[in-house]
Amino acid sequence: MLFPKQMSEVELIVPSKDLVAVTRALSGYGVFHQVDSANLGLEGLGQNTWQETAGAYSTLERRIQTIMQNVGLAEEYPAKPGIDTMVDLDATRPLVDRIDEDVKGVSDQLSGEKKRLELLESQLRQLEPIADVDVEVGALSKSSFMHSILGVVPAANITRLKTSLLRVPHVFFTLREDPQKPVVWILGQKSNSDVLERAAKSAYLNPLNLPEEFNGTPEQITGMLRREIESSKQRISGLEADLARLGASHKNELQRLLWDVHISRVMADAIVRFGQLRHTYVVVGWVPTEDLGDLTARLKEASREILIETMATSRSGHHSNIPVALTNNKWLKPIQDLVTTFGRPSYGELDPTLLIAMTFPILYGAMFGDLGQGLILILVGILAHNRIFMKGLQSIGLLLVYCGFFASIFGFLYGSIFGFEGHLIEEYLHFHFEPMWMSPLENILTILAFAIDAGIIILLFGYLLGLFNNIRSRDWAHFWFGHTGVVALIFYVCFLALLGGFLGDTAIAPKVAVAINSLPLPFPLLAGVFGVLVMFSGFFRNMVEGHTLIEGKGIGGFAMFLVQSFMDLFETGISMLSNTLSFVRVGAFAVAHGGLSLAIFSLAGEEPTIGFWITILIGNIFIIGFEGLIVYIQTMRLHYYEILGKFFHGGGMQFEPLKLNPSKEDA
Amino acid sequence: MASGVSGYAAISARVRAMYSDLLTPQDITRLSDAPDFPSLVSALKSTPYGKYLSGLKDNELTPRRVILQIRNRLSDSYSSVVQQAPEQTRPLVRQLFRYFEVGNLKAVLRSIQTVSSWNSEVAPWDRVREVLFPFGSFSTIPAQAMVESGSVVAAVELLRGSPYEAAMSFAMRRFSTEQNLFPLEVALDLNYWRRLWAEAKKLSGRDREMGLKIIGSLLDLNNLMWVIRYRIYHNLSEEELINYTLPFGYRVRDEDVRSIAAGADIASIISRIYPDIAHVSELLDHPESGLPKLEHLLKQNVMRQCVAAFIGDPFHIGLPLAYLLLSDFEIQDLVVLIEAKSSRLKDEAFRPLLLKTTLTH
């Protein structure tokens, strides 16, 4: 739960005779993440025939899909598809050929007829705008002094085409306004025909091609075209009915063939990435350790002579090539989505989902503390999660429930219900409801200081988690001198002590900082020493990692390095201050929540009339929708900026197991 | 519809975090100091590109493969921004991302035209896919089926239902008579930029202002280079130059493009639009070497616009767009480095081509 699933590297040596059975076992259960190991094979064995086979399956699969499309069948697999062996191409092709032959004749006729209809309709569309012009169409191209171009042009090019013709005398008619294919007619002097033609061609104007036999006036031609279109449409309906009949009669066979060829293609694609030796194949991949036993048993069932070597992988060190399978827990799914939006944990790294599952709703609740509005959030969350209401929010339904729960808890602590606080509850709701802790509006400085204290504790925890991750990855350079390393942590503690000393016994002083300051340690001296270490931490990191000690010495020399180091220290100090004070917003929003409610009450007036209650209702809806969203963003910002950045790097590779049948979710 | 502070809180936080992960000029200088290609790759592994290279075995570390891997980072950045951008701005970001799909489409069509001259032992698709941008699930073109279709006509048929269908249907008429990919590629480019500009214009307020500024600067660069190259290298006529360019942009006006098309002095027009670019005449006197330099300077101009977007109010689409363009320019620098190191070019041959290290503010 705290880390991505433990993974084991698996290396298999598979006898050629068991290749298909083993591939079936690997692909059938969705636990094997394949690594391309074709390069481990021997060279000089000739062309890998599996590549051709995979290509052939792929082509066959596309053919079946095309046939299904032609007969109007959805791409579905049989109701109970079994994981069978790979189908024999030579045996399957004739089956597909037979159905294809049945379908192709009709389908080719249909597509030919559709193209003809399209052509006829396009000719009709082109002629309709000039239907009332009493000229011989053929005469347009036979003029001695005028050059005429009639055609279809992309609508987006018309303005540009007109601009390009500004320098030559011409007449430009848009005969048919169409958002896609307008018909235009350009008429100019014969002497400018080359300019007109070049402009038309470069504007992608497709000249109208009326067959030679189309003589007569537009009206006569359109009459003939309409008759042709009518008979073409009748032929199309007949052919479509034939195809539907063919689809119904071949449905089961096509679905079974599609499934067989699909799994064969998936397996062949996998085999292409195996390393081919003389009589065996090398297969490399990753399996979640918890599934290893099951997969091993299945592999041994598939091949008695298979050699299986498994290596459990330690989580320490660098693991950018190990796929990361996160624990699937439906209750934590929305939190996991929040984390993976920021980054996918790398293999050795702590998965922060559980931590965020605790901090996110608590910080949200602290900013949005109201018993009534919290309960509404829970209700909306449950309805959204169950797709009863606001279906678009289904993915964050559970998150709303968690946030609503803590908003209700803090509502108890702050003594707030639907914005009513203190005497307002007794006056309008007629019951007694005291804050179990304090009312933020009446203890503004206390709540702000408390928020900073909470922030300091979270940040310190974040630093410690960062150190923990560095130890696990054995990244000693960053452990000591990273932005969240030991040196930075001690400097932060000194910084807190100085802050505590500076604020002393003022109401805003964070108690944690004051407590640190009371420790008998020379904090100013320590701050100076560790400040210098922070300043040169880049230098020390390079030293530990064996890199060039001073980067970019060619452009600025040592002086530039010193300036840059000082800026690093300055930036670190500013970040520590801003990171710490950033948590003030938790208290500030708790206060703002009370303030916003007061604003609603001042709008509602004092008398509990219907108008008063309507205003309170609208105000509550506004607060839940508007403030609820802003608090959500602030909570996310606190996590992305202040918390996750302290210890979480992400960059893990997604675990993508071989699967024969993609789940609906994957699809 | 989320906009302003509420819409941009998460994405501006994320983009700023990603922005801080971009390589600095010092990083690029350090990478340029690598003595050879293997050292460059090893130095790259200690940068944020490391995670994209770590999965590669030693024998896979070819320049082409490394370029493909580092482009994955840009692809990830686009996916991340598309997912988090406020809903009304997503079409713009998606369309900007399509730039790489248009590039893939051109590569696929070129491969079909030239496949007969290739070594037949390697399947065409295996060769083509190595040069395609890793577009992932955003792709709307069936690239493999197109390559395997064997002809440009059949391949373009497969684009039915894609955003390129309409543009290609007009251009195919010319292809079938000219048997040349030029009209197809120009149609794809014009279609892409028109759609991008239209998406930027659909926005409102600060999003629109910043979207038009950044997209417009990029469009200026392309529009200018098109009209100059078509005039100098292709000797196209005025009417063709006008039809192959676009009438909008940020600093470059339609009149400027039309003046160049009509034969006006290119240098004086560029100097008026970009007073900070010096010696334009000298660059144009030797177009073979001068035009790439001019393009380099114009790209740096776009980079400055992008860097400026990070100053001040961060709650607009300009910030993510600027980050994505800066990432792209960074990868262009890395591609220069990878190709230079693998071809053992001398320092003076490739260092001036780097955008980041030669950028002045």
**Nearest by CB to B55, which of A195, A321, A552?**
A321
Contacts of B171 in chain A (CB under 8 A): 204
A651 touches chain B (CB under 8 A): yes
Q: Do B174 and A651 touch (CB under 8 A)?
A: no
Q: How far is B100 from chain A (nearest CA, A)?
A: 22
Q: How far is A108 from chain B (nearest CA, A)?
A: 15
Which residues on adjacent β-strands are paired with residue A10?
A285, A310
Q: What is the pLDDT of residues A257-276, one digit of tens each?
A: 998 898 888 888 889 888 88
Q: What is the average pLDDT across B47-65?
A: 82
Q: How far apart are CA A431 and CA B341, in angstroms?
A: 79
Q: What is the average pLDDT across A377-385?
A: 91
Contacts of B148 in chain A (CB under 8 A): 59
Split at pLDDT 50, 70, 90, the class of A29 is: confident
Residue from A305, A254, A271 nearest A75 by CA: A254
Q: Do B194 and A551 touch (CB under 8 A)?
A: no
Mean pLDDT of chain A: 86
Instruction: Give the range among A108-117, A554-563, B267-276 with minimum mean pLDDT.
Output: A554-563
Q: What is the pLDDT of residues A505-519, one digit of tens each?
A: 787 888 899 999 999
pLDDT for res A664: 41
ipTM: 0.89
Q: Do A551 and B30 touch (CB under 8 A)?
A: yes
**Nearest by CB to A51, which of B50, B123, B145?**
B123
Neighbours of B163 (CB within 10 A): 17
* Pairing of β A280-288 and β A33-35: antiparallel
Maximum pairwise Cα distance, chain B: 57
pLDDT for res A537: 86
pLDDT for res B361: 62
Mutate to test the interface with B, among A184, A202, A322 (most CBs of B within 10 A): A202
Q: Do A341 and B84 touch (CB under 8 A)?
A: yes
Split at pLDDT 50, 70, 90, the class of A2 is: confident
pLDDT for res A361: 95
Q: Do A204 and B187 touch (CB under 8 A)?
A: yes
Given a contact cutoff of 8 angstroms between Cβ atoms, the answer to whether A204 and A153 are in contact is: yes
Name the closest residue on chain B to residue A59, using Cα atoms: B145
Name the closest residue on chain B to residue A319, using Cα atoms: B54
The count of CB pairs under 8 A between chains A and B is: 106
pLDDT for res A80: 65
Mean pLDDT of chain B: 90
Q: Do B6 and A630 touch (CB under 8 A)?
A: yes
Q: pLDDT > 70: what percent of chain A? A: 91
A614 Cβ contact list (under 8 Å, min separation 6): none
Dihedral (CA of B109, B110, B111, B113) sign: positive
Instruction: Give the range among A178-187, A396-405, B119-128 with minimum mean pLDDT.
Output: B119-128
Helix/strand/coil for A420: strand
Q: How far apart are CA B322 and CA B216, in angstroms?
A: 12
Q: How far apart are CA B48 and CA B18, in angstroms?
A: 10
Examine the pLDDT at A322 and tell me if it is beyond 80.
yes
Q: Do B26 and A555 touch (CB under 8 A)?
A: yes
Q: What is the pLDDT of residues A218-238, one digit of tens each?
A: 788 888 889 999 999 999 999
pTM of the model: 0.55
Split at pLDDT 50, 70, 90, the class of A78 is: confident
Q: What is the average pLDDT across B332-352?
A: 93
Given a contact cutoff of 8 angstroms between Cβ atoms, the answer to whether B211 and B85 are in contact is: no
Name the closest residue on chain A to residue B244, using Cα atoms: A202
Q: What is the average pLDDT across A444-448?
A: 90
A525 touches chain B (CB under 8 A): no
Helix/strand/coil for A280: strand
**Tell me, what amino acid is at B278?**
A
Split at pLDDT 50, 70, 90, the class of A48 is: low
Q: Which two tokens stand for residue B306?
A: 């992008």
Contacts of A203 in chain B (CB under 8 A): 243
Name the closest residue on chain A to residue B26, using Cα atoms: A552
Q: Do B14 and A640 touch (CB under 8 A)?
A: yes
Mutate to test the interface with B, among A164, A197, A337, A542 (most CBs of B within 10 A): A164
Q: How far apart are CA A410 and CA A367, in angstroms?
A: 9
A49 touches chain B (CB under 8 A): no
Our CA angle for A430, A432, A434, nearest 5°, is 145
Contacts of B26 in chain A (CB under 8 A): 551-552, 555
Q: How far apart are CA B237 and CA B230, in angstroms?
A: 9
Summarize chain B as % helix, strand, coil (round to 5). 70, 0, 30
Contacts of B160 in chain A (CB under 8 A): none
Q: Would you call B187 exposed, middle or buried from its count of C-beta atoms within 10 A (0-12, 13-18, 19+)?
A: buried
Q: How far is B239 from chain A (nearest CA, A)?
A: 5
Alpha helices (H) along A284-396: 289-302, 333-342, 353-367, 371-385
Split at pLDDT 50, 70, 90, the class of A70 is: confident
pLDDT for res A182: 84
A62 touches chain B (CB under 8 A): yes
Q: pLDDT > 90: what percent of chain A? A: 33
Q: What is the average pLDDT across B304-328?
A: 92
Mutate to test the interface with A, among B125, B242, B245 (most CBs of A within 10 A): B242
Mutate to test the interface with A, among B239, B255, B359 (most CBs of A within 10 A): B239
Q: How far apart are CA B103 and CA B147, in angstroms?
A: 14
Q: What is the pLDDT of residues A449-485, one digit of tens each?
A: 999 999 999 999 999 998 988 888 788 888 999 888 9
Contacts of B33 in chain A (CB under 8 A): 554
Given a contact cutoff of 8 angstroms between Cβ atoms, the answer to whether A200 and A149 are in contact is: yes
**DSSP 8-state code for residue A507:** T
Query: Cα–Cα distances in Å, from A289 out to A4, A36, A249, A629?
Result: 11, 20, 47, 41
Q: Which two tokens stand for residue B356?
A: 């980041």
Split at pLDDT 50, 70, 90, the class of A319 is: low
Q: What is the average pLDDT across A522-541?
A: 89
**Nearest by CB to A637, which of B13, B173, B187?**
B13
The DSSP result for B168-224, as a single string, is HHHHHHHHHHH--SHHHHHHHHHHHHHHHHHHHHH--HHHHHHHHHHHHHHHHHHHH
Q: How far apart are CA A557 and CA A659, in angstroms?
A: 56
Q: How far apart are CA A119 and CA A126, in angstroms?
A: 10
Examine the pLDDT at B122 and tell me if it is beyond 80.
no
Q: What is the average pLDDT across B290-305?
A: 94
Q: What is the pLDDT of residues A540-580, one digit of tens each?
A: 887 887 766 665 555 556 777 788 788 888 888 888 888 89
Contacts of B83 in chain A (CB under 8 A): 341
Q: Do B243 and A167 touch (CB under 8 A)?
A: no
The DSSP result for A287-319, as a single string, is EEHHHHHHHHHHHHHH-TT-EEEEEE--SSS--
Query: Cα–Cα distances in Å, from B199 out to A210, B8, B44, B103?
Result: 37, 18, 36, 20
The DSSP result for A127-138, as a single string, is HGGGTT--S-GG
Q: How far apart are CA B96 and CA B101, in angstroms?
A: 10
Contacts of B254 in chain A (CB under 8 A): 163
Given a contact cutoff of 8 angstroms between Cβ atoms, the answer to whether A426 and A432 are in contact is: yes
Q: Do A164 and B174 touch (CB under 8 A)?
A: no
Query: Cα–Cα distances in Å, from B256 out to A407, B18, B59, B223, B290?
Result: 60, 37, 51, 10, 20
Q: Do B17 and A645 touch (CB under 8 A)?
A: yes
Examine the pLDDT at A150 and tell me if it is beyond 90.
no
pLDDT for res A560: 73
Q: What is the pLDDT of residues A602-633, one digit of tens each?
A: 888 888 888 899 999 999 999 998 889 899 99
pLDDT for res B272: 95
